[in-house]
Amino acid sequence: MILTGKHLIAGEWIGGDEIFQNEPVEGAADSFAKGRVADVNAACEAAEDAFASYAATNRTERAAFLRRIGDEIEERGAEITAIGTRETGLPEARLEGERGRTCGQLRLFAEHIEAGDYLDRRYDEALPDRAPLPRPDLRMMQHPIGPVAVFGASNFPLAFSTAGGDTASALAAGCPVVVKGHSAHPGVSDIVAQAIDAARQACNLHPGVFSQIQGGNRAVGTVLVQHPLIKAVGFTGSLGGGRALFDLCAQRPEPIPFFGELGSVNPMFVLPAAQAARAAEIGADWAGSLTMGCGQFCTNPGIAVLSSGAGADTLVDAAEAALRDVAPQPMLTPSMAETYARDSAALAGRAGIETRLHATSNGRNGAPVLLEVSARQFLADPDMAHEVFGPLGLVVRADSEDEVLEIARGLEGQLTCTLHLDDADVEPGRALLPILTRKAGRVLANGFPTGVEVADTMVHGGPYPASTNFGATSVGTLAIRRFLRPVCYQNMPAFLLPEDLSIDSPR
């Protein structure tokens, strides 16, 4: 494994005078160049220079590029896993699975653009004899919007970072990408950037098609989203950081879309019949989902709303027993562990909260916390519904179906909402589902939201604050639509029409 420790800008590895270091779980730290304003300018200018030629590539050429990126990442798989486990504390199996997902979504987008449906081609034939006015020949298709900025995520060093879904969908659309790497895993970002650049060279593409600026300097993100050559931003991260960048995008002389995934508690509602029949099973499985990856998933199911009646105690007891068997796990960075310890203690100290389990976190490790509160107290204190990033679960006990519905109506936007129900739960399920459909981008039945399938139909987004654009997704082939815009051609001569919209092209 050879780390460059540098930024990749238009095919060149660029260093700098200032450095920062990663924070490995064990072993010596590695040094990386800090990002500078000059690096942002150079990367954005190169991306704009590359746009004309890259947007003009055909779908077969871009699909080959995406597949080659996947191949190059796989060739470096052992090196990526080695540095990734050191930097993040995530186990080898998790990183290997995430690498497979990353390469899989690159290939999925290759297949998607080859099929051509994403272009949404439409044709209204000319009607010269129509009265009272003739109709012109009208043809429409989607076009790439221009250079896209992508922010790497802390909790997914592969699938939501350098070559993750935002980058894959933007490249598939025909947009050059400038990545702002996350300082939690600069080594992984370095190697993946090497893979992308090797693929770019093999496909003989303009060097400005992809650049990456390492972290270590928050000002880089501010400058990047404000750069006049950037036309959209993809972001996965905290509510505070994302909202600040979103506001900057809106305040630009030319406002641009900010596709941010910001935060979600992913509540689950356990309905009476399911609770009575499967309480112990649901409780134990919830504990497993809650602590997966030390609770550092954006789909971590942090709140369980229980119905009054049979099974409620059994479910909570089963969850508590399962959580007691979970040892403390390393969190992604020391600062995240500190934040989790602070936020979990603050929530446990709020009025009306009962602590069922508060295992001791130490140093960089995070340990499970299980809290309980009545629906009445939960509804009176909206801050209880805010995300705590880590393995914390909050049980909310409702005394009536009306309280359950009131909790659902009061939710902020979510990535996911889950219903646990049996056949006898028809009526409460029918009452809840329309409410939850308004609140979340994905609604599950009898499952757990951790684990987001990469597929055509997946929606990973939701109303604010889950994301900043409720009409978008960062997972699944629909994600490409974020980086496209429709153009209508009226009475355009055939020889000027884009190849994908030509007279003989399929529609």
Closest C-alpha among 17, 11, 21, 18 to residue 3: 21
Q: What are phi and psi for residue 211, nearest 5 degrees?
A: -135, 155
Instruction: State whether residue 379 is helix, strand or coil.
Output: helix
Per DSSP (E only), the strands in 11-145 are 12-14, 19-21, 31-33, 122-124, 138-144
Active site residues: 261, 298
What's the alpha-carbon Rg for the chain, to the nearest Å? 24
CA angle 313, 314, 319 (to 5 degrees): 100
Q: What are phi and psi for residue 160, nearest 5 degrees?
A: -125, 30
Q: How many residues does the chain have?
A: 507
Bridge-based pairing of strands 303-306 and 392-397 is parallel
Instruction: State whether residue 504 is helix, strand or coil.
Output: coil
Dihedral sign for Cα 201, 483, 7, 107, please: negative
- Residues 100, 114: Cα–Cα separation, whole Å: 21
Q: Is 264 left (phi over 0), alpha (psi -120 to 50) or beta?
A: beta
Tokens 């005394």 sit on residue: 399
Closest C-alpha among 62, 109, 72 to residue 204: 62
Over 441-499, what HEC string results? EEEEECCCCCCCCCCCCCCCCCCCCCECCCCCCCCCHHHHHHHEEEEEEECCCHHHCCH
Closest C-alpha among 243, 231, 252, 242 to residue 483: 231
Show the tokens assigned to 384: 């209880």
Asked if 66 and 480 count as a contact pair (C-beta separation under 8 A), the reply is no
The H or E element that residue 148 is part of is strand 148-151
Dihedral sign for Cα 1, 190, 54, 502, please: positive
